[in-house]
Chain A
Amino acid sequence: MYTTRRKFLIKFRDIIEGTFFTFLLFPLLAEYSEAAEDKTGYDLVALKGGKGPDELFRKGIGYMGGMSRFVKKGQSVLIKPNMGWDRTPESGANTDPVLVGAIVRECFDAGASDVYVLDHTCDSWKSCYKNSRIEEYAKNSGAKVVPANSQDYYVKTHIPRGKILKEVLVHKLFLQCDVIINVPVLKHHSSTGITASMKNFMGVVWDRYEWHRKDLHQCIADFSTLRRPDLCILDGWRVMIKNGPRGYSTSDIIKHEYLFISTDPVAIDCAGAAVLAKAGAVSGRAEDIRYIKLAKDHGLGRTDLDRMNIKRITM
């Protein structure tokens, strides 16, 4: 066998094709096949790194099956960020405004008719809305930033499965909206240990101090039985690991650059607790946070992080 010019050319073409395939087409195909795999199967999507929480979110929501899995055309959406404190985004006391803006835009892309953003704040509400910059970002993305400062907006609701908290004044949009997206920020909390998704719903009720009076942990778990959020997005870009939930200075936060997405509020709180436990903010295992355990007893979600189907992405 001798090499003719023709054979050489054929060989050369194969090599070129092979290179092309391996270096260009294969990753593309891999991407396609990845897209083809069942993306509704993950219990939790954990992301890390990247340029910002908005980029993490856009990447992560794809692994949850896209926003269209949660928001159907013409539906109204309530986004509940944590903007309870009159502090700047850098302090990590409130949800990252960029993230909220990205979620709002994604909701509209999925065909949402209205997107509402609200929080019953701790500090005076106008300063909170303004200085957290969530109002600005959400409005720029087209959302309606709605007041929650007056009892007029709240309606009395019965909580059928509540053990201690049986009746509560809840913001009417919480009951009205078709889809609820909970966008808490991961923080240390002086009394409950951590605050993440379930505790964030204290911002849709009128009398939060009633919870403190009765039994804070049980009330948090009880309220979570009222309505399960359709999607939980836990902002762990800046994690407050001490002096929470208000924080005092930027030395209270670690820039972990995490973002967790799940439909399970208990699982996502567990993941948050694991982060804080690693930083030494809470002692022991995640299940030691009493309200998480109580919520699990209510059957609201899973706490066994090691047996969950978790998609981990580092960017």
Chain B
Amino acid sequence: MRLYPLLKIFRTVSAIIIILIISLTFFDIYNFTSPGAARYMALTQFVPSLLSFIQSPSAVFSAFIIVILLTLTAGRSYCSFICPLGIYQDIIARIPPMLRMKKNTAYTPQHDLLRYSILTVIIVSYSAAGTFLIVWLDPFSIYGRFSSHIVSPAVTGINNSAAVTLSRFNIYSMHSVDIKHAGFGMLFVVVIMIVSISALALFRGRLYCNTVCPVGSLLGLISEISFFKIKINKDTCIHCGKCERICKSSCIEHKYEHVDFSRCVSCFNCLKVCPNSSIKFRPSYSGGVKTEEYTFSREELNPYREKTKISRKNFIAGVVFIPAVLSAQVPGSKRILYVQDRSKQKEYKKNIFISPPGSSGVDMFNKKCTACSLCIARCPSSVLQPAVMQYGIYGIMQPFLDFSTGYCNYDCIVCSEVCPSGAINKITAAEKHQIRTGKSFFIKENCITYTNGTACGACSEHCPTKAVNMVPFKNSLVIPEVNQAICIGCGACEYVCPVRPLKAIYVEGNRLHEKAELPKKEKKIIIEKEDFPF
């Protein structure tokens, strides 16, 4: 049939467009797209829209319903058309043929036990403890972290070298952007995850999607009753095996004219290679060959099972390896944050780290965030950083307000505007002005004015509510004083405090965000027109 090559071209083109758009929302360093647009881009994805829908059912979050309907119609086309991680794997899988390497994508039986137990565990753990496991397995979040922590800094680096070159000639149409990247421990984890997925994609096709990915498993279940299915016509099939070799999901078995449609990602590659159009994409209830399809015996699959053991071993090794790496990273990065020579300074320790304003509290946030890192990528002051152990084990990779890299701008609500999974509720700037995410504490013994006897006041300068105020100190100097009633915990004071290694002012988080008082309205001073005072 002539239509089949067209189907594949259609799939390729739309997949490229989708992955470009999704990626652009993550490394849009010039802010071409608005935060709202970025949110809608992310809401095309299954997990964010599902989670948002669970929290507040609305038509905006209906993308997952459309995906389910699509799956009921034409199988798991989501995995080939919309999922950025799936598209990424397809792109990666194009490399071995270019290098004339052989791929092992012959038919392998499905790992039903593994994939459905992962799916069950995910669903149970989500209803019990929130998004803890989804953080690790949601394909959109994995791709989001990859693009915001690895691709985006790389793009920024290229942009910066171009901008610097141009600025030599006094052309400032491009501008440098400070490269913001997560701590190296976190980068390592992200790299390991993406490298293992890429390796699977290189050598085993869509093994990740069909074994680990919970969305893949769920849609696989649904696609069993899909209206359109890939089918092999027994009468015309010449058993050339081309379809089996090209299938990235290893789900075609030409010997038995069998297609495991729960693993098929509707990429339509097989349709294109079939020399006599024996393999077809057609309504599943039309052919009447259905009963025969399932008449193969399990025993005959034993030779294939031998093969799969290797991949399972690899996979389990990976599962063990990632947390091991992670736990090894934790003390290290903590040391980078805190331990330096501080013999003369008064110590303090932060107990609670701050979740973004709009998340209404650390615990609620940890239960809802999938760590897709979209907010981290879009935060204009780069105060949002992925947590290592700041939130404890349940919040790894979720964003927290890191006042060593920036502070939360008073009027900025970008993170609440981009969050696709409903972890950060949409708030207005006026609402944000009264959300106290933390409280500021001043340590006089560390303050420059106290130790050096010189003027500073950087903290009070930056304080948007004047919760940090300057009061008289000796020798006509002034020293900060904190009024916690109007402090909102934006961290401006902590970020700008020039004291090192420990600061003289720091913000301790609130586990549950509080309502801050507004600063007292002062009477407007009216001065009658006066002349120059000199």
Contacts and interface: CB of A to CB of B under 8 A. Distances in A.
A25 interface: no
Contact of A216 (B380, B454, B469, B531): B454
A290 interface: yes
A215 interface: yes
A258 B527 CA distance: 14
Interface string B55-86: 00000000000000000000000000000000
Given A124-B380, A215-B452, A275 B521 contact: no
A135 interface: no
Interface stretch (B253-261, B268-276, B288-296, B459-467): B459-467
A210 B167 contact: no
A49 B116 CA distance: 77
A190 B461 contact: yes
Contact of A217 (B454, B462, B466, B521): B454
A199 B515 CA distance: 36
A122 B522 CA distance: 25
Interface in A139-188: 144, 146-147, 149-153, 172, 176
A217 B455 CA distance: 7
Overall SS of chain B's interface:
loop
Contacts of A13: none
Contacts of B380: 124, 126-127
B525 A150 contact: no
A241 interface: yes
B458 interface: yes
A38 B381 CA distance: 50
B470 A122 contact: no
A46 to B, nearest CB: 5
B478 interface: yes
A150 B178 contact: yes
A216 B466 contact: no
Interface in A247-303: 248-252, 254, 256, 258, 270-271, 274-275, 277-279, 288, 290
B234 interface: no
A271 B527 contact: no
A114 B167 CA distance: 14
A5 interface: no
Contacts of B524: 250-251
A274 B534 contact: yes
Given A124-B409, A149-B178, A191-B456, A212 B498 contact: yes
A212 B448 contact: yes
B457 interface: yes
B455 A86 contact: no
B454 A251 contact: no
B412 A251 contact: no
A56 to B, nearest CB: 13
Identify which of A217, A254, A270, A277 gathers the most chain B CB atoms within 10 Å of its CB. A254
Interface of B: 31, 160, 163-164, 167, 170, 172, 175-178, 380-381, 406, 409-412, 448, 452, 454-458, 460-466, 469-470, 476, 478, 496, 498-499, 519, 521-525, 527, 530-534
Given A212-B458, A251-B524, A254-B525, 15 more contacts: A122-B461, A122-B462, A123-B381, A124-B380, A124-B406, A147-B176, A153-B176, A191-B460, A192-B455, A241-B525, A251-B523, A254-B527, A258-B532, A306-B534, A314-B531
